[in-house]
Amino acid sequence: MKVGITVPDRKSVRGKYLNYFSWLEEVADTVPLSEKDDLGVSLDALILSGGGDLNANRYGEENIRTEEVSDIRDDFEFFALEKALNRKIPILGICRGMQLINVFFKGTLWQDIDQFGAITQEHTGTEGKDRVHKVKILKNTLLYTIVQEEIIEVNSHHHESVKTPGETLRISAYSLKDAVVEGIENPDLKIIGVQWHPERWKSITSTKLLKGFLSLARNI
């Protein structure tokens, strides 16, 4: 099985992006993706990774609270997502990746979760460190079918979140304390989005999520 993972620069995969490849190293072959030509290979699944904020212009707003915006990366990942949908392969969006899926399907984002009263420090650590908090997974969702738990602990490092879910997407999870959207999905399109970082959170939940996602590719 071959899984494509988006990164800012496939020629220099480093830092926290290495976690994605380590997460999959025992279960699948991985391919770093950052340019349109990279998508010429045959892939069985696509992971849209975390990173900087999307350009708010893409969902009709001015950039007021966004950070580390890259139009080049946005353009590429929108293209990669469209290609994956056309090929009908499973898609997993992590953190930024989940937000990108939402915007692709014409949803919107909170540029900072404190805009609706959420507790930013519950989700964003200092000096790049993750925060740990509890999430409620909604029953009758694909995510629940995979994880088989209603309340889980997750790690996160973000200040943006889904505001209005995109067309055909449904919410699958919320943060327990302040109702930040933590999961979105479209089971028919085999799309899963999570706001946390399972690739750097060694837990039974992370393992279940990865295996469940890959099983979607095997069932194509």
* Spans of all domains in the chain: 2-218
* 123 in catalytic set: no
Q: State yes or no: pLDDT of 220 exceeds 60.
A: no
Mean pLDDT of the chain: 95
User: Distance (Å, rounded) from C-alpha 146 to C-alpha 207?
Assistant: 10
Q: What are phi and psi of 21, to 5 degrees?
A: -75, -35
* 133 in catalytic set: no
Neighbours of 87 (CB within 10 A): 14
Catalytic residue among 95, 133, 157, 159: 95
Catalytic residue among 77, 122, 160, 199: 199
Provide the 3-class DSSP secondary structure of residue 138. Answer: coil
Q: What pLDDT, in 10s, does the model give residues 74-87?
A: 999 999 999 999 99
Q: What pLDDT, in 10s, does the model give residues 161-183?
A: 999 999 999 999 999 989 999 99
* pLDDT score recorded for residue 118: 84
User: Distance (Å, rounded) from C-alpha 55 to C-alpha 64?
Assistant: 10
CATH number at 2-218:
3.40.50.880
Tokens 């045959």 map to which residue?
42
* 185 in catalytic set: no
